[in-house]
Amino acid sequence: MTDTPASPAARLQAALTAIRAGGLAAQVSTSPSVLEAHSHGEAMEAACLPGAVVFARKTGDVATVLRACHANAVPLVAFGAGTSVEGHVTPAEHGISLDLSEMTAIVEMNAEDLDCRVQAGLTRQALNAQIRDTGLFFPVDPGGEATLGGMCATRASGTAAVRYGTMKENVLGLTVVLATGDVIRTGGRVRKSSTGYDLTSLFIGSEGTLGIITEVQLRLHGRPETLSAAVCQFADLDDAVRTAIEIIQCGIPISRVELLDDVQMAASIRYSKLDGYQDLTTLFFEFGGAPASVQEQVAATEAIALSNNGLAFAWADTAEDRTRLWKARHDAFWAAKAVEPTARVISTDCIVPISKLGELIAGVREDIAASGLRVPLLGHVGDGNFHSLIITDDTPAGHARALDLDRRIVHRALALGGSCSGEHGVGMGKLEFLETEHGAGTLAVMRALKHAMDPLNILNPGKLLPPGRVYQG
């Protein structure tokens, strides 16, 4: 590192001078509207303007920016699509927001090996549209229009994780620019390897705190021969939850099983125009595979649902009907927001071992009733993961009430052996729970890793790790 000028503002200017001199002058913006768009994600955090936004187009651009930031000790926050919900992309005041959304190329496609390499700013929707003709698809589907780099960084999952796993299971390798600007490749194209530390997994879920991902080697999957979707409504939430648990415990290889409680269903019926359904707790199912296998899955699932007082299955047989159903599920957050357009919605993201899900949801409903807040419940119940969408006044008092409920829900999940976040990540919003979840010793090791890889703490400072002891051996 060179001698750094004293003030953060002067260091930022020195870094920007180096970035412009490195050939990126046309990719730097300090326009107020661009700064505003990079000042927050989808969370409840207070926005903070970055000092500048740099739009990267290739790995070399990212390396140029990081070298300049490292030489001048300027904080940098990677920005994919900004759909994260825990304050992940909130920038430092005199820092740089590094936008990767223009890095959208498919670098290589290996259909015969079921893998591909993409730039980190490509969205999963754009990838699937472009590879449709190959008969393959990428299954991880968070609700937002997220980038694959952002999805790696948050270890995202979605409705299909119960069948295909999360980003952790679907990324084979990465290109990463380290804090110093050095570029490394991790992993490879093979399905397994027992050589060396698993650095790919280290970067998956690291929220831009250890390095910036510029390319991702992804596992692809064959589109199932047959797909079938159904909806089953229940008068009682407990019956729906028991159905989901029994489906998993019986080992039915279901592609998706999603729960929307009666409050969420009412909001989704209105927002997504889901005609023909009642305001009742509902499970959405998808079955995929060879026709005989789908038939078996359907029969077994139907039997479990009926034995738990489920009403008759409603089928979504055409591709259009299925798309409408899953679009409604993915839009559930916006449906909840539309209930009170001026309110804030904060989403919890607890996960517990599947056998504890009923107990957790029963406790959460007591907490919700005591809070007096309106809170739709929905979730990837096949994974033991669900969201409470806490709708609250957009005032300090409203935020405090919502966060109080959020804390109660998280502590219930942790007491049942769960995690405070199944898929959204830590950002700033979940920092306070990490020590209870992981223990002080484990966090000290995580800080040692962070310190070794980013000694100046320029990569997304203040996120993922609460301050504290660093393990020193």
Ligand X SMILES: Cc1cc2nc3c(=O)[nH]c(=O)nc-3n(C[C@H](O)[C@H](O)[C@H](O)COP(=O)(O)OP(=O)(O)OC[C@H]3O[C@@H](n4cnc5c(N)ncnc54)[C@H](O)[C@@H]3O)c2cc1C
Q: Does 144 bind ligand X (CB under 6 A)?
A: yes
Q: Which is nearer to ligand X, 84 or 308 (CB)?
A: 84
Q: Identify which of 406, 336, 339 has the alpha carbon closest to the alpha carbon of residue 368.
A: 406
Which segment (130-138, 145-153, 234-242, 442-450) binds ligand X by CB under 6 A? 145-153
Least distance CB 425 / ligand X (angstroms): 6
Q: Does 208 bind ligand X (CB under 6 A)?
A: yes
Q: Does 84 bind ligand X (CB under 6 A)?
A: yes
Euclidean distance between CA atoms 56 and 98, whole angstroms: 7
On whether the CB atoms of residues 441 and 188 are closer than 8 A, the answer is: no
DSSP category for residue 464: S
Residue 458 CB burial class (10 angstroms; 0-12, 13-18, ≥19) = buried
Least distance CB 171 / ligand X (angstroms): 12
Euclidean distance between CA atoms 216 and 122, whole angstroms: 10
Query: Which of 27, 59, 90, 147 touches ligand X by CB under 6 A?
Result: 147
Euclidean distance between CA atoms 186 and 149, whole angstroms: 14
Least distance CB 2 / ligand X (angstroms): 25
Q: Does 91 bind ligand X (CB under 6 A)?
A: no
Q: Identify which of 362, 364, 358 has the alpha carbon closest to the alpha carbon of residue 381.
A: 358
Which residues from 220-279 bind ligand X, rule CB under 6 A? none
Least distance CB 16 / ligand X (angstroms): 19
What is the bridge-based pairing of β-strands 76-79 and 96-99? parallel
Euclidean distance between CA atoms 243 and 230, whole angstroms: 14
Q: How far is CA 258 from the centre of its chain?
A: 16
Q: Does 88 bind ligand X (CB under 6 A)?
A: yes
Euclidean distance between CA atoms 77 and 374, whole angstroms: 34
Least distance CB 340 / ligand X (angstroms): 16
- The residue number whose beta carbon is nearest to ligand X equals 150
Which segment (3-11, 74-82, 269-277, 293-301) binds ligand X by CB under 6 A? 74-82
Query: Which of 35, 54, 63, 85 touches ligand X by CB under 6 A?
Result: 85
Least distance CB 150 / ligand X (angstroms): 2
- With contacts defined by CB under 6 A, how many residues of the chain interact with ligand X? 37
Least distance CB 369 / ligand X (angstroms): 26
Q: Which is nearer to ligand X, 63 or 305 (CB)?
A: 63
Which residues from 315-354 bind ligand X, rule CB under 6 A? 333
> What would the DSSP string read from start to end of 388-446?
EEEEE-SSHHHHHHHHHHHHHHHHHHHHTT-BSBSSS--TTTTGGGHHHHH-HHHHHHH
Q: Does 100 bind ligand X (CB under 6 A)?
A: yes
Query: Which of 12, 15, 74, 79 touches ligand X by CB under 6 A?
Result: 79
State the binding string over 154-173 for ligand X (x if CB under 6 A, else -): x-xxx---------------
How many other C-beta atoms can be found within 10 angstroms of the C-beta atom of residue 352? 24
Q: Which is nearer to ligand X, 121 or 289 (CB)?
A: 121
Task: Output b/e per residue, 276-288; b: 16+ Cβ within 10 A.
Answer: ebebbbbbbbbbb
Return residues touching ligand X (CB under 6 A). 41-42, 77-85, 88-89, 100, 120, 142-144, 146-147, 149-151, 153-154, 156-158, 207-208, 212-213, 333, 423-424, 460, 463
